Amino acid sequence: MQEAELQDILTSREDGEYIINIGPQHPSTHGVLRFVVSLKGEILEYLIPHCGYIHRGIEKMCERLTYQQIIHLTDRMDYLSAHMNNEVISLAVEKGMEIEVPERAKYIRTILAELQRLDSHQLWWSAFGMDLGGPTCFFYGLRDREKILDIFEESFGSRLLHSYICPGGLMNDIHPNFQTRTKEFMKYFRKKLPEYDDLLTGNVIFEQRTKGLGTLSKEEAISYGLTGPCGRGSGFSCDIRKHHPYSAYDKVEFKEILYDEGDTWARYKVRIDEMWESMNIIEQLIDNIPAGEHTARMKPVIKLPEGEYHQRVETARGELVAYIVSMGDKYPYRLHFRTPNFNNLFVINRLAAGYKIADLIAISGSLDLVIPDIDR
Amino acid sequence: MNPVAQYFSDIFHAVGSLWKGLRVTGYYFVHPRQIVTQKYPENRKHLEMFDRFKGELILVHDENNQHRCNGCGICQINCPNGSIEIITDSVTNEDGKPERIIDKHIYHLSMCTFCGLCVKNCPSTALAFSQQFEHAVYDRSKLTKVLNQPGSSIRKEPKTPKVHAEPMSKSNPDN
Amino acid sequence: MPFNIYDFSVTTKAVDEYFKAHMSPTWAFVMELLIVGLVFLIVYAIIGLYLVLAERKVCAIMQNRYGPNRVGKWGLVQTIADLIKLLMKELIPVRKSDKFLFNVAPYIVIIASFMAIAAIPFAKGLQGVDFNIGVFYMMAVSSIGVIGTLLAGWSSNSKYSLIGAMRSGAQVVSYELSVGLALLAVVIFSGSMQLSTIIESQANGWWIFKGHLPAIIAFVMFLIASTAEINRGPFDLAEAESELTAGFHTEYSGIKFAFFFLAEYMNMFIVASLAATVFLGGWMPLHIGSLESFNRIMDFVPPIFWFFGKTIFVIYLIMWFKWTFPRLRIDQLLTLEWKYLLPINLLNILLIAFLVLMGWYFK
C-alpha cells in the first residue's frame, strides 16, 4: 500500500515539489530508518517512513527456543528498556505456570526497571539536545548515565544488554554494593537534574523551537495507539504501572504525569518529570528490599500449559505486550510483541506535515524512537 | 499587560534564561577537575574491571592446570545459538569402566551473546566469565577458541549434594 | 597619554629610511609591501591554526573531557596535522558546476578577511593602514565575504547548497545593520571613525565604562549581531550538520574547504578584535581617570599583550555562546534581528546622541 501511495505522489506532484530521501544512515534518525519526504520549498507536504532495515526475525527465532533462551533475544529489541523487555516474558511465563515470585525479586525488578527508565530518558535528553544544535547536552547526559551503567556492570557484568530477569525471579543475586551505589547515585543525580532544566528546558531558544509544534489531541493519540510519554503528553492516561500494576508497583506511591497540550514541549516535559518520579520510586524501595531467595524453584525445562497468555509492561517508551500461544510444548507455538515504537512512529506523518525540515528533527526527537523495537 | 511592557518583559525573561544556561557551562569551564574521561590506552596498567564483568568465557583452571569440566554437554544444550561445541572422548578409568572426558570445548566468540545461561546451568561450575574485553582481531578464525588448555585434566571433586548453583562465587550476606 | 608606550612608528620609519637609502623609491615601496604581506600571511596562518585548536579545547573542557591531547604536548600540533591531511585530499570537481565561480569563491572570503585585518591596530603604530574612516572601512570590507558565500552555494549546482547559501546570505545582510549601528554608538561618543583616534580617546578609561549603560547595551548588541554575521554559534543554521542541508560548502573538499574553515575562524578573530578596539580600548591599558599611580602600574604590561588579552576574552565569550545554546531556526533568526535588535539599537543611538549633547557621560 505504501508503494501505491508513493507512486501517486510521484505522478501527481505539482511544479516546485520534489521528493528527497532522508536515508537509513543519518545522524538524527537514531537508528536505521528511512523517510521519504515530499517537499515544497522548505515545507513538508507528505512524509512516509520506511522501516524494516533491522528486521532480524526475533519472533520467528523464538519459536524454536526455550523460555529461558528467549530472554537474551528480548534484550535486543528496545535496548534502552532491556529490563522491562526481559520482565514482560518472565511475567507471562510465571502467569502461565502459576509460580509465585519471591518478594525480594519483585522489589529488585521494580528498582531495576526504574533505573533503566532513568537511563533511557537520560540518553533521550542527550540526543534531543544534540539534534537541536547544543552538543553540550550530549556530554552531560551521558556523563550522568555512566553512573547507572556502573551500577549495572557491578551486579550483572554488562552495561546495556543484561538478560538478568528470567522466569522465576532473577539470574543471580545483586552485588552487596548495589544499595550503596544506588543511594549515592540518587543524591548525585538530584543535584544534576536541575542543570538539565537550566541548560535546555528554560532556554528561550528551545521554548520557541518546541512550543506549539506537532500538536496531537487526546482523541487522535488514542486512535493512533500512542502510549507512553507521547500519549501522556496529549493527556491520554495510559500508564500500565497505575492501571494494571505488576511487580512491586502497587506498594509504591507515585504520580502519573499528564500534560494536556500535546505538543513537542509537553512530550519533553513529561519525560523530565518522569525522571523525578522514577527517583522517588527508587528511594521508596531501595532501603526496604526484603531478605530472601532471589528466585523461585523452577524445573530446568519449562513447559507452559496449552493456551494463550499475554502480559503488559510499561517500558520507557510506552506499552509493551507479549502474547504467547503455547501447545503445551517447551517452545512457544507463536510469540508476538506489540511494541510501543511501532505505533509512535506512524504518527509522524500527521505531526510533521506542514512544517519545515528543522521541525521534523525536533518532532522525531520528541517521539523518542528506537528503531530495533519497530522492526524486531 | 500592554504590548510595550510585554515586549520588554519578554526580553528580560529571555536574557535571564540564557544567562542560567551560560552559568552551567561556565561552571564546568572553570572547574577542569570535573573531567570524567580517562586516557584509555595509556592507563591499561591501572584499569580494573568489575569482578562480574562479562568479558569472555573461560574454563576455570587452577594452579595444577586442572579444570572441572566433565563433558556433560549441558552448556551446549542451553546455548541459544550454538556458540559452544563439546567434543568428548572415552577413556578407561581406574575401575576399568569407560568414562567420558572432555576432548575439546570449542567456543565461538564471534557468535556468543553473553547471555550467561551456560555459566548458570553448568553442574560442575566449570565455566566463568573473565574480564578480558579487548577482542579485536584481524583474522576471524582467531575468534574460535578451545577453552580447555593443552595438557589439562579434570579435577575430581568429592560428591556433595548441591542446593543452588552459584557460579559467581560471591558470598551474599542477604541470601 | 600613557607612560612609556613604545611607538612602533619609530621602527617603521627607520626601516623605511633604510630602504630608501639603498634603492630607488619604487623598489623600496615594493620591498615594504612584500615585508608587510609576508608578516600578515604568517600572522594570519598561525592565529587561524591555533584558534581552531583553542576552540576544540574550550568546548572540550565545557563538556567534561580533554580535547586533543595526543598530537604534541597538549595537542599543540593537532591543527597542523589536520592541515596536512586537508592539503593531501583529492579536490573533487563537481559535474556541471560553474568552474570559474566554484574556484574563485573560497578566495573571495579569504581576501575579504585579509583586507579587514589590515586595518586592525595591534599596538601603537603597528597597523597596516590607518584610514580616517577606519570603522566604516572594516564594515564595508567584511561585507564582501557574503559574495563568496553566495557564489559558493550557487556554483555548486546542488539544491541543498543553494538553500544553505541563500539562508546565509539573508542572515548576514540583515545583521550588518545591527553591527553598523552598534559601532556607531562609540563613533558618536569619540567623535571620530579613525581607529587610532578612538583608541587614544580611551586613554582615561575604556568606552564600555565611560559610556555607562548605552555603551554596555551597544556592546551586547555588537556581540550578538557579529556572531550572526560570521555564521557561528546559535546562528549556524546554514551549515548545520545534524540537519538535511549541509550548507554552502558541502561540495568543497581539500584545500578549498580549508579556506572556508580558516576564513570563518579569522572572521571571528576580526570581529573580536574590533569589539576589543572600539569598546574595550584596543591596545590601551586599563586606566581610571586621573589615578596616576594606578595608571603607571597598568602601563608596565606591553600594549600588545593588552590587545591580545582583550581579543581572547571576547573570543571566549563567542565560543561560550556557541557551546551552550541550541540553534535558532531561520525565521526566529530574522525575527530576532528585525523585531528586537534593530529597534533597540535605534533607540540606543537616539539616547547616546542626547547624552553627548547634554554631556552626561564620563569624558
pLDDT digits (tens, 9 = 90+) for C256-266: 888 888 888 99
Banded pLDDT at C314 (limits 50, 70, 90): very high
In this complex, is the C-beta atom of A296 within 8 Å of any C-beta atom belonging to chain B? no
Neighbours of C214 (CB within 10 A): 22
* Burial bucket for residue C186 (CB in 10 Å: 0-12, 13-18, 19+): buried
User: Looking at residues A152-171, what average pLDDT do you find?
Assistant: 88
What is the model's pLDDT at position C151? 87
b/e sequence C327-353, b meaning 16+ C-beta within 10 Å: bbbbebbbebbeebbbebbeebbeebe
How many other C-beta atoms can be found within 10 angstroms of the C-beta atom of residue B131? 16
On chain A, the residues whose CB falls within 8 A of the CB of B24 are: 195, 198-199
> Is C55 within a domain?
no
Using pLDDT thresholds of 50, 70 and 90, give the confidence band for residue A110: very high
Supply the pLDDT for residue B161: 58
Q: Do the beta carbons of residue C318 and residue B11 sit within 8 Å?
A: no
Residue count of chain B: 175
Are both B19 and B99 inside the same structural domain? no
Q: Give the residue from A39, A188, A204, A208 with the most C CB atoms within 10 Å of its CB, the best one to mutate.
A: A208
Quickly state the pLDDT bin for A274 (edges 50, 70, 90).
very high
Phi, psi of C65 (to 5 degrees): -145, -175
B53 to A71: CB separation less than 8 angstroms, yes or no: no
**Domain containing A125 — which CATH number?**
1.10.645.10
Question: Residue C89 and residue C60: Cα distance in Å, rounded?
Answer: 27
Identify the DSSP state of A250. G
Structural domain including A302 reads 59-350
In a domain, B49, yes or no: no
Q: Does A57 touch chain B (CB under 8 A)?
A: no
Amino acid residing at A50: H
- Give the range of the structural domain holding residue B107, as residue numbers without chain letter: 57-154
How many residues comprise chain C? 363
Question: What is each CA distance from B38 to B41, B46, C66, in whole angstroms?
Answer: 9, 11, 9
Q: Is A362 part of a structural domain of the chain?
A: no
Asked if the model's pLDDT at residue C160 lies above 80, the reply is: no
Q: What residues of chain A lie within 8 A of the CB of B129, using their CB?
A: 157
Which 3 state secondary structure label does DSSP give A129?
helix
Verify whether the Cβ–Cβ distance C61 to B25 is below 8 Å.
no
C134 — phi, psi (to 5°)?
Answer: -50, -50
Do B104 and B68 share a domain, yes or no? yes
Question: What is the structure's pLDDT at A296?
Answer: 85
Q: Please report, for residues A96, A127, C25, the alpha-carbon distance to residue C277 in angstroms, rounded to integers and kept in the order given.
A: 79, 40, 34
- What type of residue is C66? Y
The overall average pLDDT reported for chain B is 81
Domain for residue B123, yes or no?
yes
| Interface contact C362, partner A, CB < 8 A | no
- Number of A/C CB contacts below 8 angstroms equals 71
- The nearest CA of chain C is from the CA of B44 a distance in Å of 16
**Tens digits of per-residue pLDDT, B59-90?**
888 888 888 888 888 988 989 988 898 888 88
Mutate one of C244, C320, C321 to test the A interface: name it (highest A CB count within 10 A). C244
Instruction: List Cβ neighbours of B62 (8 Å cut-off, separation of 6 or more).
Output: B155
- What pLDDT score does A7 carry? 63
Residues B69 and B147 occupy one common structural domain? yes
pLDDT tops 70 at residue A28: no
Nearest to A357 among C59, C159, C244 (CB): C244
Q: How many CB atoms lie within 10 A of CB A280?
A: 15
| CB nearest to C64's CB, from B11, B18, B28 | B28
CA distance C59 to chain B (A): 9
Q: Which of A223, A225, A220 is nearest to A263 (CA)?
A: A220
Whole-number pLDDT of residue C219:
92
The answer on pLDDT for A212 being more than 90 is no
User: What pLDDT sits at residue A27?
Assistant: 66
The predicted pLDDT at position B167 comes to 47
Question: What pLDDT is stored for residue A29 in this prediction?
Answer: 62
Judged by a CB distance cut-off of 8 A, whether residue C41 touches chain B is: no
Asked if B107 reaches chain A (Cβ–Cβ under 8 Å), the answer is: no
- How close does chain A come to B88, measured CA to CA in Å? 23
Q: Are C107 and C160 in contact (CB under 8 A)?
A: no
**Contact indicator for A319, A242 with CB cutoff of 8 Å:** no
Question: Residue C2's pLDDT is what?
Answer: 56
What CA–CA distance (Å, rounded) separates C180 from C161? 28
The amino acid present at A316, given as its one-letter code, is A
**Confidence check: pLDDT of B40 > 90:** no
Closest CB from B11, B25, B35 relative to C65: B35
Q: Which class for A242: exposed (0-12), middle (13-18), buried (19 or more C-beta within 10 A)? A: middle
Mean pLDDT of chain A: 87
Q: Is the pLDDT of residue C319 over 80?
A: yes
Task: Please tell me the predicted confidence (pLDDT) of residue B138.
Answer: 93
The grid coordinates listed for A226 are 500512542
Lowest model confidence (mean pLDDT) among A154-158, A183-187, B62-66, C38-42: B62-66
Q: Are A27 and A35 in contact (CB under 8 A)?
A: no
Give me the pLDDT at residue A359, please.
83
Cβ–Cβ contact B48 with A under 8 A:
no
- Listed residue (C246, C244, C323, C236) closest to A359, CA to CA: C244
Question: How does residue C350 score in pLDDT terms, banded at 50, 70 and 90?
Answer: very high
Same domain, B64 and B28: no
Number of domains in chain B: 2
Quote the DSSP letter at residue A167. Answer: T
Q: Any long-range contacts for C48-52 (C-beta under 8 Å, 24+ apart)?
A: C48/C262, C48/C265, C48/C266, C48/C269, C49/C79, C49/C80, C49/C83, C50/C79, C51/C265, C51/C266, C51/C268, C51/C269, C51/C315, C52/C79, C52/C82, C52/C261, C52/C265
CA distance C149 to chain B (A): 30
- Neighbouring CB atoms inside 10 A of A175's CB total 21
| Backbone φ, ψ for residue A50 (5° rounding) | -115, 115
Residue C264's alpha-carbon distances to A4, C227, C233, in angstroms, are: 47, 11, 12
pLDDT digits (tens, 9 = 90+) for A324-338: 999 988 899 999 999
Average of pLDDT values for B11-27? 87
DSSP string, chain B: --HHHHHHHHHHHHHHHHHHHHHHHHHHHH-GGG-----TGGGGGG----TT---EEEE---TTSEE------HHHHH-TT--EEEEEEEEE-TTS-EEEEEEEEEEETTT-----HHHHH-TT--EEEE-------SSGGGGEEE-SPTT-EEPPPP----SS--TT----TT-
* Residues C243, A357: C-beta atoms closer than 8 Å: yes
Please check whether residues B19 and B87 belong to one and the same domain.
Answer: no
- Quote the number of domains for chain A: 1
Dist CA A178 CA A159 (whole Å): 14
The x, y and z cell numbers of residue C89, run together, are: 585530499
How far is CA A263 from each of CA A222, A267, A319, C242, rounded to the nearest angstrom?
15, 7, 20, 22
Please indicate, yes or no, if residue B121 is contained in any of the structural domains.
yes
Determine contact, residues A312/A337, Cβ cutoff 8 Å: no
Residues B66 and B26 in one domain: no
Tell whether the model's pLDDT for residue B174 goes beyond 50: no
Contact C241 A131 (CB under 8 A): no
Closest residue in A to B35 (Cα–Cα): A143
Confidence (pLDDT) at A302: 87
Phi, psi of A156 (to 5 degrees): -115, -10
Residue contact A139–C63, C-beta within 8 A:
yes
Within a domain: A263: yes
Picking from A341, A348, A258, A289, the residue whose alpha carbon sits closest to that of residue A78 is A341
Structural domain including C226 reads 94-358
Q: Collect contacts of C351-354 with beta carbons under 8 A, ≥24 apart.
A: C351/C214, C352/C185, C352/C188, C352/C189, C352/C211, C352/C214, C352/C218, C353/C188
Contacts of A203 in chain B (CB under 8 A): 17-18, 21
**For residues C21 and C28, what is the distance between their CA atoms, to the nearest angstrom?**
9
Under 8 Å CB-to-CB from B3, ≥6 apart: which residues?
none
Task: Give the closest of C58, C69, C325 to B18, CB-based.
Answer: C325
pLDDT given at position A13 = 57
pLDDT at C316: 92
pLDDT top residue among A285 and C25: A285
Query: Three-state DSSP class for A68?
Result: helix
Chain A neighbors (3+ CB pairs < 8 Å): B, C
* Run of H or E residues at C340: none
Q: Is there a domain that residue A7 lies in?
A: no
- Least confident residue range of A138-142, A352-356, C348-352: A352-356
Establish if A114 belongs to a structural domain: yes
C neighbours by CB contacts (3+ pairs under 8 Å): A, B
Does the beta carbon of A311 lie under 8 angstroms from any beta carbon of chain B? no
Listed in order, strand segments (DSSP E) in C76-198 are none
Question: Looking at residue C248, what is its pLDDT?
Answer: 72
Instruction: Give how far Cα A171 sits from Cα of A157, A298, B116, C186, Å.
Output: 12, 12, 9, 73
Interface predicted TM-score (ipTM) of this complex, two decimals = 0.84
Q: What is the pLDDT of residue C222?
A: 92
pLDDT band at A111 (very low <50, low <70, confident <90, very high): very high
CA angle C15, C18, C19 (to 5 degrees): 90
Residue C40 lies in a domain: no
Contact A296, A101 (CB under 8 A): yes
Task: For residue A28, tell me if it sits in a domain.
Answer: no
Share of chain C above pLDDT 90, in %: 15
pLDDT tens-digit series, residues C120-140: 888 887 787 888 888 899 888
Q: What is the pLDDT of residue C10?
A: 78
Residue type, A95: K
pLDDT exceeds 50 at position B170: no
Give the pLDDT confidence of B97-138 residue by residue, as tens digits: 888 888 888 899 989 988 888 888 888 888 888 888 888 999
Q: Are C326 and B26 contacting, i.e. CB atoms less than 8 angstroms apart?
A: no
Can you say whether the dihedral through the CA atoms of A108, A112, A114, A115 is positive or negative?
positive
Residue C7 in domain: no
- Average pLDDT on A72-101 reads 90
Question: Cell numbers of A148, please?
Answer: 547507572
Chain B CB within 8 Å of residue C65 CB: yes
Q: Mind telling me how many Å the CA of C324 is from chain B's nearest CA?
A: 6
- CB distance C210 to C361 below 8 Å: yes
Q: Is B38 on the interface with C (CB under 8 A)?
A: no
Asked if residue C6 lies in contact with residue C302, where contact means CB atoms within 8 angstroms, the answer is yes
CB of C58 within 8 Å of a chain B CB? The answer is yes
CA distances to A1, A3, A5, A21, A336 from A53, in Å: 18, 16, 20, 15, 19
**Residue B56 clears pLDDT 90, i.e. is over it:** no
Looking at the 3D structure of chain C, how many domains does it have?
Answer: 1
